Amino acid sequence: MRIFKISLFVIIPALFLLNSCANVNSNILFKIPKGDKFEYDSLPLVPEEDFRLAPGDRFSFLFGTNNGEKIILNISGANAGVTNSGNNNNNNNGQMLQQRNAITYLVRQDGYANLPLLGEIHIAGKTIVELENDLKERLSANYIMPFVQIRVTNQRVIIFPGKGDAKVVKLSNANTSLLEVIAMAGGVRNESRSNSIKLMRKTNSRKREIYKIDLSTIEGLKNAQMIVQSNDYIYIDFKPRVASSILQEFAPWLSLLTTILLTYNILTP
């Protein structure tokens, strides 16, 4: 009987331990297998090409004639001294501009978007400048010196800060740096590795290039100033704490085992 109890103390914990080891740090993403001769892509501090709109993107479309003269006058209030009827017209114009600013347009999966005054326009694959020039050329057939402003409204990056919740960070500035994005996501966590940050970026070939970034030393300051692009994935590796993870996994089973053995001792004569 004594040998049987000893066996329970040794064999059952060992089985639980093996099960726990399989679950330790199972939340690690984008791990490179040991011995794999993986080569990271060269790190571009500034994007090698301008952002191109893709299906699923949303953008606002602001349009005015005479190189945007009315837009500037309404924003600056330069028409404030005209007659009451003029003021009413200006207020109406301002409301129309505000409404236009609030409306966003979706780039559909076929690459097209339906725009006012223009109808169905192919959008996907164009940079913001290319799209603005294309729309100005189309509008110039019916309007004098058209002014067009395009603003992508759903630009964002996804950051995985090692352990913890992932963050979707919206980009309000076209020149947002890597360090700014990490700061907006809550900074580098205690268990995270500042010397092992992976940034994954989709190229025109639909492939994602992968860059490795080290921010642990002062030399990494130049890499911290890297400009991020919409739809970048940023993953901060973390230090696996095997002992504490195994203990955390094993604790409930140990409590259960203790309860079983105590019950067994009580019921066994």
pLDDT digits (tens, 9 = 90+) for 179-199: 999 999 888 887 888 898 999
- Is the whole-model pTM more than 0.85? no
pLDDT at 53 over 80: yes
What pLDDT band is residue 123 in, cutting at 50, 70 and 90? very high
As a whole number of angstroms, the distance between CA 56 and CA 53 comes to 9
Give pLDDT, residue 46: 84
Residue type for 70, please?
Answer: K
Q: Average pLDDT in the 62-85 region?
A: 61
Confidence label for 173 from pLDDT (cuts 50, 70 and 90): confident
Cα–Cα distance between 200 and 150 in angstroms, integer? Answer: 26
Residues 143-151, mean pLDDT to the nearest whole number: 89
The DSSP output letter for 145 is S
Three-point CA angle 25, 30, 31, nearest 5°: 60
Q: How much is the pLDDT for 250?
A: 57
CA distance 90 to 88: 5
Are 146 and 139 contacting, i.e. CB atoms less than 8 angstroms apart? Answer: yes
Tell me how far apart the alpha carbons of residues 225 and 223 are, in angstroms, rounded to a whole number: 5
Q: Is the pLDDT of residue 87 over 50?
A: no
Report the pLDDT value the prediction gives residue 117, as an integer from 0 to 100. Answer: 87
- Which of 21, 19, 16, 12 has its CA nearest to residue 242? 21
At 105, list the tokens. Answer: 């347009």
Band of the pLDDT at 39, cuts 50, 70, 90? confident
203-261 pLDDT tens trace: 776 788 899 999 999 988 888 999 999 889 999 988 765 555 555 555 666 676 677 66
pLDDT top residue among 240 and 85:
240
Q: Which residues on adjacent β-strands are paired with residue 121? A: 113
Tell me the three state secondary structure of residue 73: helix
- C-alpha–C-alpha distance, residues 199 and 187, integer Å: 16
Specify the pLDDT at position 77: 55
- The CA angle 253-19-261, to the nearest 5 degrees, is 30
CA nearest to 40, candidates 181, 166, 223, 190? 223
- Confidence band of 106 (pLDDT split at 50, 70, 90): very high
Report percent pLDDT > 70 for the chain: 63
- Is the distance from CB of 209 to CB of 158 less than 8 angstroms? no
Phi-psi domain of 132 (left: phi exceeds 0; alpha: psi -120 through 50; beta: other): alpha
Q: How far apart are CA 127 and CA 125, in angstroms?
A: 7
What is the CA angle 16-22-26, rounded to 5? Answer: 135
- Give Rg (Cα) of the chain: 29
pLDDT of 8 > 60? The answer is no
